[in-house]
Amino acid sequence: MNKEKKFFKEPLTDTQLLMTIAIGIFFVMYLLAMAILRGGFLHPQQIFDMLNDNASLIIVSCGLTIVMIGGGIDISVGAVTSLVVMSCVLYLNKGGNIFVSILLALGIGLAFGLVHGYLISYLEIQPFIVTLAGMFFARGLTTILSVNPQKVDHEAFAALRGVKIEIPWLGYYAKNGNLIPGTVELGVVIALVCLLTVFVLLTWLKPGRNFYAMGGNQQSALMLGINVKRTRFLSYVICGLLSGISGYVFMMHTGAGNATNAAGMEMNAIASSIIGGTLLTGGVGNVIGTLFGTLILTTIKKIIVSSALNKPWWQSITTGGMLCFFILLQSIVLWVRAKLRAKKKK
């Protein structure tokens, strides 16, 4: 009985609280869209389409969440994703092997992660400057490879891209009476595997705890015996590797490459992480919240389209407004919690 009382009295951590708020806001927003706009929001396929379209964003957002929890930032992830897409498209179109193309994607992402991690962790250069340089470098290399759109023309890749998981019991009946099953692309499965892997890393493994400690207070982390330089280096390596995976998933979804691929993805990834409860100051965040942050952004875009507000600036304005709202909400929630904790101590 005492254990039960202790459990119910124990408050949520800042990470859990902000994640819970993000999840709650998503469900409220989606239920309101179902009630007011109806249309596609009434079909489970709408959720599947949101995941299909944003699988690569979810993966890259997971990597960015790790870096942000550690108190860093990486604005090169979108450019690295674009470089991976173009490199793999050109390689496959020259008759390359599909398994080698996967290794190429992982290698490019890992190379950027290693360089960024070394410069930031061991040479102590500002993360924003290093990753800004990495962004320009990756965009430049992408443009050198090709300025024209390139469609993948590879039989084995076409077969891989065509793999879809059907869920009949989550489908719906069309007007002609035919059952249209719910369909999920292979990229979504890869994204969810990456997300669960990062969740396990951050929740139960020692490197994950080190990320939180380093982002919360670097001096305290040093006093606890944590190798801060190595921990920061590892966060950028993982982020780079996930950017490589994101690029391949992006290519699997679109089946083509373009010099402007993934333009703005880094900003969307940062927004997804923040909306999901990750603080820019570090020490607080969770990839489950990041997933719902991505879904919130996508739901906003779907609502705007369903409301016939098709002008591109509406999405930018609404996204910016939501981002400001969540940053303000997080600040208020954490300020109130700090006040309550101070009162309890007295």
Does 99 map to a domain?
yes
* Cα–Cα–Cα angle for 128, 250, 142, rounded to 5 degrees: 55
Does 345 map to a domain?
no
Task: Supply the pLDDT for residue 36.
Answer: 86
Task: Supply the pLDDT for residue 141.
Answer: 95
H or E segment at 39? Answer: none
Does 12 map to a domain?
no
pTM: 0.93
Tally of residues, the chain: 346
Q: Strand, coil or helix: what is 256?
A: strand
Does 53 map to a domain?
yes
Does 277 map to a domain?
yes
Q: Strand, coil or helix: what is 144?
A: helix
Domain that holds residue 167: 44-335
- Pick the closest to residue 163 from 181, 183, 180 (CA basis): 183
Q: What is the DSSP string of 147-214?
A: SS-EE---HHHHHHHT-EEEEEEEEEE-TTS-EEEEEEEHHHHHHHHHHHHHHHHHHHSHHHHHHHHH
Does 331 map to a domain?
yes
Does 341 map to a domain?
no
Residue with tokens 């009946």: 173
Measured between alpha carbons, how far is 20 from 9 in angstroms, rounded to an integer?
Answer: 17
Task: Supply the pLDDT for residue 22.
Answer: 94
Using an 8 Å Cβ cutoff, are 120 and 130 in contact? yes
Tokens of 234: 């590892």
Does 32 map to a domain?
no
Residues in a beta bridge with 166: 183
Q: What is the DSSP string of 88-115?
A: HHHHHHTT--HHHHHHHHHHHHHHHHHH
- From first to last of its 346 residues, what are the pLDDT tens digits of the chain? 444 444 434 578 889 999 999 999 999 999 999 988 877 788 888 899 999 999 999 999 999 999 999 999 999 999 999 999 999 999 999 999 999 999 999 999 999 999 999 999 999 999 999 999 999 999 999 999 988 889 999 999 999 999 999 887 777 766 776 777 889 999 999 999 999 999 999 999 999 999 999 999 999 999 999 999 999 999 999 999 999 999 999 999 999 988 888 888 999 999 999 999 999 899 999 999 999 999 999 998 888 888 777 677 777 888 888 888 888 988 898 898 888 888 877 6
Q: How many beta carbons lie within 10 A of that of residue 251, not counting itself?
A: 27
* Burial state string for 135-168 with b = 16 or more CB within 10 A and e = fewer than 16: bebbbebbeebeeeebebebeebeeebeeeeeee
Looking at the structure of the chain, the number of domains it has is: 1
Using an 8 Å Cβ cutoff, are 245 and 58 in contact? no
